[in-house]
Amino acid sequence: MLLKKIKDVGAVPVEMEGAENVKVRVLFGPEDKAPTFAMRVFELGKAGHTPYHQHPFEHEVVILDGEIMVVTDKNKIQLNAGDVLLIMPGELHQFKNISNSKPASFMCIIPVQFQK
């Protein structure tokens, strides 16, 4: 068993094209020898957003704090703390902080082999 506190895991800037004011904390992943899943927390600063992107795997998302707009090729949905979301493989998506001047955050779980 491995126990951590989110605040004790360092946040690093997301260096993907199209990302703006986003940091990630890899809570569990390859460095922890997690065999199946990687668990990450993304922090969206003021006007922060992830790239509009897709990938070949599903991922599950839990909104932790703030108000986040998820943008897909079909719609835009406002998410709030406590909402959960399943993004299917190949589905285009983007997360945008719409909390005005406060940060927003979400937890994301993906297959560990895709965590860099």
pLDDT tens digits, 48-67: 999 999 999 999 999 999 99
d(CA 17, CA 38) in angstroms, rounded, equals: 22
Position 91, amino acid:
E
- Ramachandran angles phi, psi of 6, nearest 5°: -50, -45
Domain boundaries of the chain, sorted by first residue: 11-114
Does 72 have pLDDT greater than 80?
yes
d(CA 109, CA 5) in angstroms, rounded, equals: 17
Q: Please, which pLDDT band fits residue 101 given cuts at 50, 70 and 90?
A: confident
> What CATH number does domain 11-114 carry, 3.20.20.60, 1.10.3720.10, 2.60.120.10, 3.40.1640.10?
2.60.120.10
What is the Cα Rg of the chain in Å? 14
